[in-house]
């Protein structure tokens, strides 16, 4: 039997963090180098320039994929590929020097991220990723008073879940009673009292999910507060169309990897449209009355687009599931038929290690155990499989991972 896995946790985390993004220009300074062979100075200049631009493109974002092939537990192939996601609009040579036959070229490059498909359709592993949608934190709660949108923190999560369940590559749970953040300014990097960046890992373990979707409602303000005043004159201005009744809607959406706590997707969405409800109406977010307003219809359309992007970012992510118990060569794990697991499937075994960086912030490192699990029994929400050696010899423990790339 042959399975394909990625090279290491470092490549794995790079793959997760380097998702495609909207076009965005950025000036970067890099140094390219090339050997001058047989006095071919112009050729070396060209090669140094190409080297510099490649570094600039990688700095702005690249997809790094490592692929191993194993047969009977032995490594038979080991390849690494890098695909850049940026191009140069403009290049300015800042400095150029030659030292011991090596030409160094310092350039400033105006780089632009380009949209690209995260992976080819035939690379998707076919398993359904389990995700949980948590409640949204409202940055300025007083802005929700107009229209009684104070329930936006949970209703937004519910609406997003309703859109996500329609996609065939996700198993979606809602836990809108939980929020990742207590304050919005620094989200998503807020620390907890346990000196971890977020509570993602704890929630993911409790809910048995691979990814956590969360967010911040950044803006629900109106452009002209006088347009919603209670005086007779302001009421007349509204009725005859002389008041600016536009209202903002801005949210920031995050997807966290539930095993490491790392952010794998982050994007801000915003719009401005007319709030044509009476200032005294108690409407509520995502209600039937809300969707009758011009503003509400625009928000619903935007959230449909959010769901599509969240789904797209998950579709080609590797499938991961927790090991729950080991017994000799048998491994029990927390995914089953509902995720698309079938008898005979093969998954790569990874060990997990908790570590603390120089700031004492907790993290998780993955190490390839170089073992393949073959699924033997499948139940709706869990399954079992076997490996060729005793799990004790590989030190495989509960909360280690099985991964399909």
Distance of CA 265 to the CA centre of its chain: 2
358 or 174: whose pLDDT is higher? 174
Per-residue pLDDT, 367? 84
297 or 114: whose pLDDT is higher? 297
Strands 211-219 and 129-138: parallel
Q: pLDDT digit string (tens) for 35-85?
A: 898 888 888 888 888 878 877 776 665 444 445 455 554 444 444 444 455
Among the residue ranges 138-147, 176-185, 344-353, the one predicted with the least confidence is 176-185
Q: What is the mean pLDDT of the chain?
A: 80
Q: pLDDT digit string (tens) for 367-390?
A: 888 899 999 999 999 999 999 999
Q: Residue 217: how many CA atoms within 13 Å on its side-chain side?
A: 27
Note the pTM of the prediction, 2 decimals. 0.67
H or E stretch including 294?
helix 294-315
Per-residue pLDDT, 12? 43
Specify the residue for token string 């329609």: 166
What's the chain's length in residues?
Answer: 405
Q: Is the pLDDT of residue 109 over 60?
A: yes
13 or 250: whose pLDDT is higher? 250
Q: Is the pLDDT of residue 219 over 60?
A: yes
Per-residue pLDDT, 243? 67
The reply to whether omega before 188 is within 30° of 0 (cis) is yes
260 or 348: whose pLDDT is higher? 348
Tell me the CATH architecture of domain 130-315.
Answer: 3-Layer(aba) Sandwich (3.40)
The superfamily CATH assigns to domain 319-404 is FlgT, C-terminal domain (2.40.10.410)
Give the residue range(s) of CATH 2.40.10.410 domains in the chain: 319-404
Per-residue pLDDT, 76? 47
How far apart, in Å, are the Cα atoms of 349 and each of 205, 277, 338, 340, 390?
18, 56, 21, 18, 13
Average pLDDT over residues 313-338: 93
Give the residue range(s) of CATH 3.30.1660.40 domains in the chain: 21-114
Per-residue pLDDT, 114? 55
Phi-psi group of 314: left, alpha or beta (phi > 0 → left; psi -120 to 50 → alpha; rest → beta): alpha
Among the residue ranges 10-19, 216-225, 343-352, the one predicted with the least confidence is 10-19
Q: Is 21-114 in CATH node 3.30.2090.10?
A: no
Q: Is the pLDDT of residue 211 over 50?
A: yes
Q: pLDDT digit string (tens) for 4-40?
A: 333 334 444 444 444 333 345 578 888 888 889 888 8
What percentage of residues in the chain have a pLDDT greater than 90? 46
- Residue 63: strand, helix, or coil: strand
Per-residue pLDDT, 358? 60
Give the residue range(s) of CATH 3.40.50.10610 domains in the chain: 130-315
Burial of residue 126 (number of CB atoms within 10 Å: 0-12, 13-18, 19+): exposed
Per-residue pLDDT, 49? 86
Q: pLDDT digit string (tens) for 149-166?
A: 999 999 999 999 999 999
Q: pLDDT digit string (tens) for 185-207?
A: 666 655 444 434 457 888 898 89
């Amino acid at each position: 039997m042959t399975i394909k896995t990625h090279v290491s946790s470092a490549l794995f985390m790079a793959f997760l963090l380097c998702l495609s993004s909207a076009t965005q220009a950025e000036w970067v300074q890099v140094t390219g180098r090339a050997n001058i062979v047989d006095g071919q100075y112009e050729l070396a200049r060209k090669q140094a320039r190409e080297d510099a631009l490649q570094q600039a493109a990688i700095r702005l974002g690249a997809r790094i994929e490592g692929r191993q092939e194993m047969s009977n537990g032995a490594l038979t192939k080991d390849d690494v590929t890098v695909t850049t996601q940026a191009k140069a609009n403009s290049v300015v040579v800042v400095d150029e020097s030659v030292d011991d036959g090596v030409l160094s070229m310092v350039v400033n490059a105006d780089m632009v991220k380009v949209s690209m498909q995260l992976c080819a359709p035939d690379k998707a592993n076919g398993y359904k990723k389990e995700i949980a949608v948590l409640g949204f934190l409202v940055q300025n709660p007083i802005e929700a008073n107009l229209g009684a949108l104070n329930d936006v923190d949970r209703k937004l999560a519910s609406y997003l879940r309703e859109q996500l369940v329609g996609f065939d590559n996700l198993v979606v749970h809602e836990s809108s009673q939980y929020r990742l953040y207590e304050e919005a300014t620094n989200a998503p990097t807020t620390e907890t009292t346990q000196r971890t960046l977020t509570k993602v890992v704890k929630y993911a373990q409790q809910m048995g999910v691979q990814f956590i979707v969360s967010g911040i409602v950044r803006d629900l303000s109106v452009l002209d507060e006088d347009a919603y005043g209670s005086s007779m004159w302001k009421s007349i201005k509204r009725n005859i169309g002389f008041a600016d009744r536009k209202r903002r809607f801005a949210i920031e959406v995050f997807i966290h990897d539930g095993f490491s706590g790392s952010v794998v997707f982050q994007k801000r969405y915003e719009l401005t449209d007319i709030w044509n409800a009476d200032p005294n109406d108690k409407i509520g977010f995502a209600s039937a009355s809300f969707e009758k307003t011009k503003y509400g219809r625009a928000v619903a359309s935007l959230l449909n687009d959010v769901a599509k992007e969240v789904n797209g970012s998950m579709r080609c992510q590797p499938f991961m599931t927790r090991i729950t118990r080991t017994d000799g060569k048998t491994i029990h794990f927390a995914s089953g038929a509902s995720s698309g697991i079938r008898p005979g499937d093969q998954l790569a075994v990874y060990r997990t290690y908790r570590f603390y960086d120089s700031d004492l912030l907790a993290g998780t490192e993955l190490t390839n155990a170089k073992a393949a699990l073959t699924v033997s029994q499948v139940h709706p929400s869990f399954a079992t499989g076997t490996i060729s050696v005793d799990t004790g010899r590989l030190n495989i423990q509960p909360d280690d991972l099985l991964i399909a790339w």
